[in-house]
Chains A and B, each alone.
Chain A
Amino acid sequence: MASTNHDIITQLRQEILQLQGFRPPAPGAAVDLGLGPITDAFPNSVFPTGAMHELISPLRENAAATGGFMAGLVSALIVSGGVCVWVSAARQIYPPGLKAFGIEPDQVVFMDLRREKDVLRATEEALQCEGLAAVVGEIRDISFNDSRRLQLAVEQSRVTGFLLRHNPRYYQPVAAVARWHITHLPSEPDPGMPGLGHPRWNVELSRVRNGRPGNWQLEWQAGRFLCRPRQMPVEQENPHRLTG
Chain B
Amino acid sequence: MGQRFLSLWFRHLLTDDAARRRPALLMAAFVLAAPDHGRMVVTAANYLAQAQGIQTGMVVADARVLLPGLEVLDDQPERAGQLLRAMALWCIRFTPVAAIDLPDGLILDISGCAQLWDGEAPYLAQIVATLRDNGPTVRSKGYDVRGAIADTIGAAWAVARYGRTTPIIEPGATIDALLPLPVPALRLDPGVTNRLARLGLYKVRHIAGMARQALRSRFGNDLLLRLDQAFGREAEVIEPVIPVVPYIERLPCLEPIVTATGISIALARLLEALCTRLQQDGKGLRAAVFKGYRLDGKVVQAGIGTHRATHHVPHLLKLFEDKIAMLEPDLGIDLFTLEAPTVDDVEARQPSIWSGTTGLQDPRLAELVDRVANRFGKGCIHRYLPAEHFWPERAFVPANSFDDLALTAWALTRPRPIHILATPESIEVAAPIPDYPPMHFRHQGQLRKVVRADGPERIEPEWWIDGARHRDYYAVEDESGVRYWIFRSGPYTGLPSSPWFLHGFFA
Chain A interface (Cβ < 8 Å from any Cβ of B) = 60-61, 63-65, 67-69, 71, 78, 80-83, 85, 92-101, 104-114, 118, 121-122, 125-126, 129-133, 183-187, 189, 195-197, 199-201, 220
Contacts and interface: CB of A to CB of B under 8 A. Distances in A.
Contacts of A71: 418, 507
Contact of B386 (A96, A122, A126, A199): A96
B2 interface: no
Given A63-B505, A67-B419, A131-B357, A196 B453 contact: yes
B357 A94 contact: no
Question: Which 9 residue pairs of A and B lie closest in terms of their CB atoms, listed nearest first?
Answer: A68-B507, A64-B505, A184-B481, A94-B420, A82-B357, A81-B359, A186-B481, A195-B454, A110-B382
Given A64-B506, A101-B418, A196-B477, A80 B365 contact: no
16 contacts: A64-B506, A83-B359, A92-B419, A93-B420, A94-B420, A95-B396, A104-B406, A106-B410, A109-B365, A109-B369, A114-B376, A129-B364, A131-B362, A186-B479, A186-B481, A199-B483
Contact of B410 (A69, A105, A220): A105
B291 interface: no
B410 A187 contact: no
- What is the interface residue range for chain B against chain A? 35 or more
B420 A131 contact: no
B218 interface: no
B365 A83 contact: yes
Interface of B: 355-360, 362, 364-365, 367-369, 371-372, 375-376, 380-386, 392, 395-396, 399, 402, 405-406, 410-412, 415-422, 451-454, 475, 477, 479-483, 504-507
A72 B179 CA distance: 87
Contacts of B381: 109-111
Nearest to A186: B481
Contact of B454 (A65, A83, A196): A196
Given A105-B396, A111-B381, A195-B452, A131 B358 contact: yes
B480 A184 contact: yes
B354 to A, nearest CB: 10
Nearest to A59: B482
Contacts of A109: 360, 365, 369, 381-383, 402
Contacts of A111: 372, 376, 380-382
B483 A196 contact: yes
A95 B452 contact: no
A218 to B, nearest CB: 11
Given A95-B396, A111-B381, A131-B357, 16 more contacts: A64-B507, A67-B419, A68-B418, A80-B356, A92-B420, A96-B395, A100-B418, A104-B410, A106-B399, A109-B402, A111-B380, A126-B368, A129-B367, A131-B355, A131-B365, A200-B481
B481 A99 contact: no
A130 B355 contact: yes
Contact of A64 (B417, B451, B452): B417
A201 B452 CA distance: 16
A125 B360 contact: no
Contacts of B382: 109-112
A52 B483 CA distance: 28
Given A97-B417, A196-B475, A129 B368 contact: yes
